[in-house]
Structures are given as structure tokens and as C-alpha cells.
Amino acid sequence: MKRLLIIALVLIILLSLPLLGGSMIWVMGGADSLDIDGTANVVAEPDPETGRGWSHYGGDARGHRYSAADEITPDNVDGLSVAWRYSTGDLASRGGLMHRTASEGTPILAGDQLVFCTPFNEVIAIDPGTGAERWRFDPEIDLEQRPANQYVCRGLAQWRDPDGPGACAHRLFMGTNDARLVAIDAATGAPCAGFGDGGEVRIDPGMQLLWPGEFQVTSPPVIVGNTVIVGSAISDNARVAAPSGTVRAFDVRTGEPRWDFDPIPRSADDPAAGSWEGSQSPVEGHANVWAPLSVDEERGWVFLPTSSPSPDFFGGLRPGDNRHANSVVTLDAATGALVWGFQTVHHDVWDYDLASQPGLYSVVRDGQRHDVVAQVTKTGMVFVLDRDTGDPFLPVEERPVPQGGAAGERLSPTQPYPAATPQVVPDRFDPGDAFGITWFDRRACRKLVEGAVAEGLFTPPTEQGTLLNPFTGGGANWGSAAFDPSRNLLVVNMSSLVHHIQLIPEGEFERVREVFHDQEVSPQTGAPYGMKRETLMSPLGLPCNPPPWGVIAGIDLASGDIVWRKTLGTTEDLGGPAVKLGTPNFGGPIVTASGLMFIGAAMDDYLRAFDVATGEELWRGRLPAGGQATPMTYEWEGRQYVVIYAGGHARAGTRLGDEIVAFALPGG
């Protein structure tokens, strides 16, 4: 009944559009003229070493998400059709657990097979041309652990032994939901017996967990030389003295520990200790690296996107900027020694983790190539840094931000803002601008935010409630960005939603949790406040902030200019007709040498192709389930394929499935 009501009301609005005037057309996302339209110019030839395969998560070790494959072009992309489909069988065998999954994996091309991991950490190898299964490996993870971040596996890493052939000379590495680092033979899927204990290393979180799923590994490891490096995913807002966000490195052959790096300084002689102004060494945990890492193999460096310290929404017990949390941190991959760090949020009390892979690109400016790091963020900002020093390549300035907040909080008076590139999505929400397709819907949204503090980006959490825009899912998230090296063009998708965050005094927490038992209410044990987090949605299930709720943009990294910005996604699979309002999106874009960009991510079940120079949508292919994963592309036996994991995302509410779907042009 609710779905029928939504459909009827949206149809009424659509039929009324000619009578309503231009402002309403913009609200409904129907006027392309109000998007930013432009054309990205070709400035240089692509890197000739860029391959036509997809050997790493992110395409290559530096996270370009770019392929030299060029059979599929803007002129023929509308001829794409399904070439093959492969089902993992999870819907049939593990259907009772699918409501705890997010299918965010991206396959890689490893020799003569595609390999990928399921949300339950099964590794499967399939034929690149037919999708026929070659082998599968099941590490038999703990399915009773109640994972804090759902069952997730985003990808694998591969390594070839330069000393020659033999068992496990070509091996695959994966982190698991129950905190293991696993090594298997790429040819057979058998565990590499010489690595750790029978092919695995159990990662010690360093303290007793509150429950088994508090600590996971969800993003792929990275490999530099003979060292394999892995981060972790840790439950937010459970406690102050939480597991640390230590990044760990192991010998790629034996699994022996090489080094570890804790982004939070634990001793007074650490150079970052001065940014933690408490009288003792920090007891806080996290600042973990749950998003994908990047590697500069030539320099021998690994680049970490770190998260916020624990807990997310109160920092009064950790005064100071809290470096190296919320930072791009560069380490020597052989030793774990710090090279440089750049902090994107000081003293984070908004859960504005660095959730995206740092992009290591070469940008052409004034005829010269410059090696940079481009970091897209949950705040909608894009920071572009010199890769050698961490200094801004595009200017960054400190700007005053809202103050106040809860008793005992000590906020940073300023925050860093890129000066050349405005936020890609809105950074504030005025309750008076509440959206609704009817007067009733709009009034309900306004009532939801009555009394909330809304002073724009970086408004601190409060007891009366604070509006966070963008919400804590971003802006940009783990899908990261893609880069077209021939155009200096960064392509990034972002969501635009609002969170209502409310601090709960410690003595009132249990009462509030009982009343709001169906919402997210977390204790932040050890802090004087718990928290309640709610996405602002109307009674009809639509966001309370004005659309578009999802966008994709092309940004010139030489100047910082937003060249084009377009709405991403329709309401087709949200219980109504296909209206171009944009949707929240999880998963990232890829770019090809022919001038195409592919992306799933949106909450309608499509893989889309865009002209990378203009942002014009050229094609879309229907998926059997949500495509909240980053696609990949490769050439095999003279034919180019574009592949995506269509498994859906339980927390986002998209259609669940268990298929890898490959698209190609006819013939081959």
C-alpha cells in the first residue's frame, strides 16, 4: 500500500510539472541545464604502461581505475549486451544471512582467470570469456560473529614469486571478516602452507573484543616487494578505549610480521604527540584504515587513508587536532617509517573518515608532469597534494567553522578547505528547505528537524540534535574515484543526504535506547555521552533534503575546476516511476582509453556508461540486483568485457543477489 501511494503521488507531481514553473522542475531533477556542463580537454597521451587488464583492486596499485582497453567506444557502447552471468549460489545456500551482506567486490584478472571474493570471503575463479567456474576456496569464516560492518569483501591482491614456478609461486591474498590474512595458490585455490599457520595469519586486535564482529578486514591488502600490508574495519561508537587502528605488514612468503604502524601516537616522543593535548598518552582507539590503500611501487611507499579516533561524536577526552587520524599518511613500505601526513579534518567529531583510496596520479600543468595524491572525502571536498612532500598541489586554506557543542568539547577553531574546488555536494541544510512531494511530506520533514542545530558543515554534535550534511556516508565513500590521465580528469560519485545526530547524556542512555530501539543508538562507553544517528527521511521514504541525492562529477586536477556535474540514479527501483532525482550511491567509477566512464553504484539496478569528457549518459544495462560495487574491464581473446558484481547492499536497501555479470559487444 505504501509503495502504491508513493507511485501515485509522484505521478501526480510529474503530471503537474508543466504548471509548476522552473524551480520545481529543478527540485525534481529534470533540468539538465542546471547541471554543470562542460568538456574536458585532452592534455596528454595516457601512460603507455597502462594495461588492458585489471590486475589490482582499483585497476593498478595507484588506484587509477583506468584501462587502455578501447574496443568499446562512445559510438558503439549502445550495442553492449550481457555476454555471460555467473551465480555464486549465496542466495540459495546462505539466504538467511544475506540481510547482513554488502556485495562490494571487484574481480581482478589473475593470469588466465578472473578471481573475486564474496561477502562471506569465498574466493572464486572463473573463465574470463565464459564465466565458467574454475575453482573456489572457502575459508569458513565465523558466521555467528554479527559483523559490525556487514559481511563484506571488496577484493584480493596477487603476487608472483620472482624466484620461479612452483606451488603458490602465484598467490592471492585476502583479509577476512573474522580478522585473518589468507594466502592461497592462484592456480588451484589451495592454501599456501608455508604462509603463517597453514596458509593464514590471525590478526590480533590487541585487546578483548566486545563481540567477535567488532573487528574485521573488509578491503584488500596491498603488496610492495615482498611485504603484504593490511588495514582493518572496527565498529564505531561502542567505546572510547577501543581497538587501535594499527596497520600491519607481513612477509609475503612466510607471514612473519615485518612492522606495524598505529596512527595514534602512544608515546611522548612521537612527533604527532603534540596534537593530542591530554595529560597522558591517548587511550582512544581506531584511526584505522578500513578503506583501500594505495602503493607507489617506484618510491616504495604505501598511502593510508585513516579514519576518526574513537568515539566518533565526542572528542572532549582527546583535545587537540588528533593527528594522524583523518589523514592521508605515507609510509616507507619496507620499514613502516612515516614519510609525511596531511590531515583533512582536525579533531573529528562527525565520523568524517577518509573512506576512499588515495589516488596516485600524474597531472599535466603548464606542460610539466606533477606526481600528486588526490583524496576525495565524505565532506564532498577534493584535496590534491604533492606526492613527495604532502604539501597542497592545489591550494588549501584554513577557514573558521562553527563552535560550541556539548559540555567538555574542545573543537578546532578552523578546518582545511580546498580553495580551488567547491564541495561537489551541498555542505549545509536549512530546515526551512525541507523537501517533500506533498505538503504533508514536507511538513513531516520540517517537524523532524525542529530545534536541531544547523550551522553548516562542521556544526558540532549537541544534546538538542545537530544536522550533518553531507551525512556520515559521504560525499565520497569507499568506491573512491577514477582518473583519465589524458584529460587530467578526476571522476567521482557522491551521495547527498542529511543525518540527525543527537548526544545522549550518559545517565539517560538506557532510557533513550529503550525508546528508540529500532534506531541506531550507541553508548560511546567511557565518554559522558552516547549518541543517536538517524538519516532524515520523510514518511513516504524519501530524503528530507532537496534532490539530487546522488551526483557524479568530472574535476580538472590541474586547476581544480568542476568541468561537469550530473545527477546519478533514478527512483525506478525505490517503489516509484523512474524519476531522475539521483540516489545515494555506493561503489565507484572506472574510465577507459576510448573516452568512456562506467559506474553502477546508484540504487536503481543499472550499470551505466557516460562520455567521460562531457558527463553525458550514453548507455545503461539492466542488472539482476543492486550494483553497489565498482566495475572493472579487461580484454580477453580480442574482446573487451565490462564486469560488475550485482549482489546488492542490505543496509542501503537495494535488491539482493549473487551474480557476476559481464557485458560485451556482439561477436568477438
- Which tens digit of pLDDT belongs to each residue from 514-524? 989 888 999 99
Residue showing cell 604527532: 272
Provide the 8-state DSSP code for 9. Answer: H
State the residue for C-alpha cell 599535466: 364
DSSP 556-605: ETTT--EEEEEE---STTTTS----------S--EEETTSEEEE--SSSS
What are the two backbone dihedrals, phi and then psi, of residue 258, each rounded to the nearest 5 degrees? Answer: -105, -50
Report residue 25's pLDDT band, with 50, 70 and 90 as the boundaries.
Answer: very low
Dist CA 520 CA 452 (whole Å): 18
Neighbour count for residue 564 (Cβ, 10 Å) = 23
Which grid cell is 111?
A: 593470469
Q: How far apart are CA 508 and CA 386, in angstroms?
A: 48
- pLDDT at 580 exceeding the cut of 60: yes
Catalytic residues: 351
pLDDT score recorded for residue 476: 98
Binned at pLDDT 50, 70 and 90, residue 106 comes out as very high
Position 134 pLDDT exceeds 80: yes
Is 130:84 a contact under the CB 8 Å cutoff?
yes
pLDDT tens across 588-615, in order?
A: 999 999 999 999 999 999 999 999 999 9
pLDDT at 292 over 80: yes
Phi and psi at residue 433, to the nearest 5°: -95, 15
CB atoms within 10 A of CB 36: 14
User: How many other β-carbons are positioned within 10 Å of the β-carbon of residue 279?
Assistant: 4
For 151-165, what is each residue's pLDDT tens digit? Answer: 999 999 999 999 878
C-alpha to C-alpha distance for 579 and 31, rounded to whole angstroms:
12
Distance separating alpha carbons of residues 331 and 338, to the nearest angstrom = 5
Distance CA 100, CA 92 (A): 15
Q: Which three cell numbers stand for residue 435?
A: 523537501
Give the pLDDT confidence score for residue 79 in this predicted structure.
98
Q: Is residue 479 part of a domain?
A: yes
- Confidence (pTM): 0.94
Placement of cell 516511476 in the chain: 577
Comparing CA positions, the residue from 321, 505, 515, 490 lying closest to residue 413 is 321
Distance CA 74, CA 434 (A): 39
Alpha carbon distance 346, 185 (integer Å)? 43
What secondary structure letter does DSSP report for 543?
A: B
Nearest-angstrom CA–CA distance, 452 and 468: 10
**Per-residue confidence (pLDDT) for residue 41, from 0 to 100:** 86
| Residue 27 reports pLDDT greater than 90 | no
34 has a pLDDT exceeding 70 = no
Q: Is residue 290 part of a domain?
A: yes
* Domain CATH code at residue 332: 2.140.10.10
According to DSSP, residue 26 is labeled H
234 and 215 in contact (C-beta within 8 Å)? Answer: yes
- Residue 517's Cβ-count burial label (10 Å; 0-12, 13-18, 19+) is exposed
Nine-digit cell string for 468: 550533518
- Domain assignment present for residue 4? The answer is no
Which residue has 618510491 as its cell numbers? Answer: 299
Under a CB-based contact definition with an 8 Å cutoff, are residues 429 and 445 in contact?
no
118 touches 105 (CB < 8 A): yes
Question: Domain limits at 606?
Answer: 35-664
Task: Quick: pLDDT tens for 532-565.
Answer: 999 999 998 899 999 999 999 999 999 999 999 9
CA distance 297 to 285: 30
C-alpha span between 642 and 453 (Å, rounded)? 45
Q: What is the DSSP string of 262-318?
A: -SS--STTSTTGGG--SSS-----B----SPPEEETTTTEEEEE--PBSSSS--TTS
Q: Tell me the three-class secondary structure of 426-480, residue by residue.
A: CCCCCHHHCCCCCHHHHHHHHHHCCCCECCCCCCCCECCCEEECCCCCCCCCCCC
User: What would the grid cell of residue 263 be?
Assistant: 596512527
Condensed to tens digits (0 to 9), the pLDDT of residues 478-528 reads 999 999 999 999 999 999 999 999 999 999 999 999 989 888 999 999 999
Residue 6 lies in a domain: no
SS3 79: helix
Q: Can you give the pLDDT at residue 35?
A: 67
| Confidence at residue 667, expressed as pLDDT on a 0 to 100 scale | 81
User: Within 13 Å and on the Cβ side, how many CA atoms surround 109?
Assistant: 21
Amino acid occupying residue 30:
G
Least confident of 18-22, 162-166, 316-320, 468-472: 18-22
Quick one: which of 398, 439, 391 has its CA closest to 12? 439
Residue 595 · residue 611 · CB < 8 Å: yes
In a domain, 16, yes or no: no
Cα separations (Å) of 147 from 102, 121, 132? Answer: 11, 13, 31
Q: What's the CA gap between 57 and 107, in Å, rounded?
A: 8
Q: How far is CA 348 from the centre of its chain?
A: 18
For 164-180, what is the mean pLDDT?
Answer: 94
Q: What is the DSSP letter of 151?
A: B
Which residues make Cβ contacts (< 8 Å) with residue 580, sequence separation at least 6? 28, 29, 30, 548, 567, 569, 570
Q: What is the pLDDT of residue 668?
A: 59
Ramachandran assignment for 27, one of left (phi > 0), alpha (psi -120 to 50 degrees), beta (any other): alpha
Apex CA 124: angle with CA 79 and CA 194, to 5°? Answer: 145
Strand order in the sheet with 659-664: 81-87, 659-664, 639-646, 632-636
Question: Per the domain annotation, does 17 fall within a domain?
Answer: no
Task: State the cell numbers at 206.
Answer: 590487541
CA-to-CA distance for 151 and 216, rounded, in angstroms?
9
Mention every residue, 6+ apart, whose C-beta is less than 8 A from residue 50: 60, 64, 66, 67, 68, 485, 593
Query: How many folded domains does the chain comprise?
Result: 1
Q: Is residue 403 part of a domain?
A: yes
- Grid-cell match 551505466, residue found: 608
Cell (9 digits) for 588: 565507484
- Give the cell for residue 437: 512531494
3-state helix, strand, coil in the chain (%, to 5): 10, 35, 55
